[in-house]
Chains A and B, each alone.
Chain A
Amino acid sequence: DAKTTQPPSMDCAEGRAANLPCNHSTISGNEYVYWYRQIHSQGPQYIIHGLKNNETNEMASLIITEDRKSSTLILPHATLRDTAVYYCIVRVGANAGKSTFGDGTTLTVKP
């Protein structure tokens, strides 16, 4: 699996959009970008994934650059409950074997 690089921490004002970047410059053509988040003392939770097209679901939007070397997770209207550690990983897909999680980005949403 390709490695990812994320900033260690970010702050965001409640109600504003949170934009979390991820660098995956060594991503392979068949690797997807997945985002998870981990709220304190809970197991990580899947948010969204994509290959090359931008994706949106009820939780977030994922913007992947054209060269696929980086991506941004967007939480459009951050709430205090979005305070968590956000992990960006890349993996081939269903039968991908182990997935390497980095240290993620700690997002703190402030009132």
Chain B
Amino acid sequence: GAGVSQSPSNKVTEKGKDVELRCDPISGHTALYWYRQSLGQGLEFLIYFQGNSAPDKSGLPSDRFSAERTGGSVSTLTIQRTQQEDSAVYLCASSLGVSRVGTGELFFGEGSRLTVL
């Protein structure tokens, strides 16, 4: 597709279950970001991937959260043993990520809304 694709768009799970959220970035974009947005709040940075470099995991809130990016393309965000406070919209974005000064526009997906009961 032309844009960033995320799935599922909505996920309802029970407390304690594991969930996986998928992000398919724009083809050719080497940079990929995950953000979390709780109801009525701004965007909270979670993790950033750039090419083959080690990801910047500095925003992950706990060790229950992890993410991987296979083959430099699709990324999966995994939340283990979900808690009610994990309920939020999880947004993925990608960008060209090459050294073209002045670029850096982030293209966002529509998000995955997670509800933990």
Contact = CB atoms under 8 A, between A and B. Distances in A.
Contact of A98 (B4, B58, B99, B103): B58
A42 B100 contact: no
Contacts, number: 75
Interface stretch (A15-23, A45-53, A66-74): A45-53
A54 interface: no
A42 B41 contact: no
B42 A104 contact: yes
Interface residues of A, number: 26
Contacts of B104: 32, 34, 49, 91-96
Contacts of B31: 94-95
Interface in A93-109: 93-104
Chain B CB within 10 Å, residue with most, of A43, A85, A96: A43
B25 interface: no
Contacts of B93: 43-44
Interface of A: 32, 34, 36, 42-46, 49, 51, 85, 87, 91-104
Interface of B: 4, 31, 33, 35, 41-43, 45, 48, 50, 56, 58-59, 91, 93, 95-111
